[in-house]
């Protein structure tokens, strides 16, 4: 399995974007079986460069992440990154997870602080654990040989009351602590992403790759819930359209595909080095979006 930093480099040398997908560990056997027998095989048709699996997002599935990552790597020979958070873990427990990841042949970690349980409220660090993702990045860089990614927020992190530029300066700090690339939270206005990228590159001198996170909308109510939790903005025009499709998820899904194709085309024209799709463990929209891109056809 490859380091993701090397995948980004070799795709960039070929002048092609790296395509990746994100999964969450299914909570049921049926969900797991569907991920392995349907979703991933369908996504493989569009030749992804790598994928990733979340860690305890929304609560409770921490233990499953490494198992799913390892199974994807073994069954599909596809490089898979494990997300890892500092939530509810001491340094010794994090060390155990990283040791196990190494033993399983996992070579890429997305180093995160994580959200407070339930997704809202103040984050309370665990005694003997890490307070910010930067601490986790430093720990991994000093003790292991992983390619490390970190999370970036084109509109600023929801809990950063000092404003987005302060959050971006902290992002520069965590990248300098040893990260190889940044993956962003979902966003719907490319202007937000481009402003963020310009700031990171031109003002703060960051040289590491920034990969935009793309979420093809599947349902109006679902996207309203997600954006409330993570603080991403739905532009007015998009919201108007989504409100009209509130009771029709099929139409919202088709709209989501159309929107994401346009969004990705523009980002590719702006020279992004990859597209990371939040698949929500479904293949239909992501396949349609990638197939709809002129660089893929």
Which positions touch ligand FAD (CB under 6 A)?
54-57, 83, 85, 110, 112-115, 132-134, 151, 157, 159-160, 167, 170, 174, 183-185, 213
Burial 13-33 (b: 16+ CB within 10 A, else e): eeeebbbbbbbbbbeeeeebe
Q: Which is nearer to ligand FAD, 125 or 292 (CB)?
A: 125
| Catalytic residue (one of 22, 29, 240, 291) | 22
**Pick from 52, 70, 76, 74: which is nearest to 4 by CA?**
52
Between 71 and 170, name the residue whose CB sits nearer to ligand FAD.
170
Main-chain phi, psi angles of 94, to 5 degrees: -65, -40
CB 32 within 8 A of CB 26: yes
Structure token pair of residue 270: 């702006």
- Residue 196 Cβ vs ligand FAD, minimum distance, rounded to whole Å: 12
Q: Which is nearer to ligand FAD, 150 or 289 (CB)?
A: 150
Shortest CA distance to 64 belongs to which of 293, 281, 282, 287? 281
Nearer to ligand FAD, 85 or 285 (CB): 85
CB of 37 to ligand FAD, least distance (A): 23
For 46, what's the count of Cα atoms within 13 Å in the CB-facing half-sphere? 27
CB of 156 to ligand FAD, least distance (A): 8
CB of 63 to ligand FAD, least distance (A): 13
Selection from 37, 28, 18, 11 nearest residue 283 by Cα:
37
Is 22 noted as a catalytic residue in this protein? yes
User: Which helix (H) or strand (E) segment is 275 a member of?
Assistant: strand 274-278
Active site residues: 22
């Amino acid at each position: 399995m490859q380091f993701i930093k090397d995948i980004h480099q070799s795709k960039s040398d070929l002048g092609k974007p790296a395509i990746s997908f994100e999964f969450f560990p299914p909570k049921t056997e049926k969900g797991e079986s569907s991920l392995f027998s349907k979703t991933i095989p369908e996504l493989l048709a569009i030749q992804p460069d790598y994928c990733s699996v979340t860690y305890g997002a929304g609560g409770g599935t921490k233990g499953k992440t490494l198992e799913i990552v390892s199974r994807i790597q073994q069954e599909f020979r596809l490089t898979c990154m494990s997300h890892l958070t500092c939530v509810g873990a001491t340094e010794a427990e994090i060390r155990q997870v990283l040791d196990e990841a190494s033993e399983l042949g996992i070579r890429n970690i997305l180093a995160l602080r994580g959200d407070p349980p339930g997704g809202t409220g103040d984050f309370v660090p665990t005694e003997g654990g890490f307070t910010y993702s930067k601490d986790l990045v430093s720990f991994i860089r000093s003790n292991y040989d992983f390619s490390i990614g970190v999370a970036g927020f084109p509109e600023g992190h929801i809990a950063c009351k000092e404003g987005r530029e302060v959050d971006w300066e902290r992002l520069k700090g965590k990248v300098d602590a040893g990260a190889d690339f940044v993956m962003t939270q979902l966003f719907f206005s490319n202007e937000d992403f481009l402003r963020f990228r310009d700031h990171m590159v031109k003002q703060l001198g960051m040289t590491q790759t920034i990969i935009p996170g793309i979420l093809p909308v599947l349902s109006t109510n679902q996207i309203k819930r997600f954006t409330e939790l993570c603080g991403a903005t739905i532009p007015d025009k998009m919201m108007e359209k989504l409100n009209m499709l509130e009771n029709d998820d099929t139409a919202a899904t088709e709209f989501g595909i159309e929107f994401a194709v346009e969004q990705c085309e523009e980002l590719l024209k702006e020279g992004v080095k990859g597209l990371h799709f939040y698949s929500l463990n479904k293949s239909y929209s992501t396949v349609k979006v990638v197939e709809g891109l002129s660089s893929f056809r």
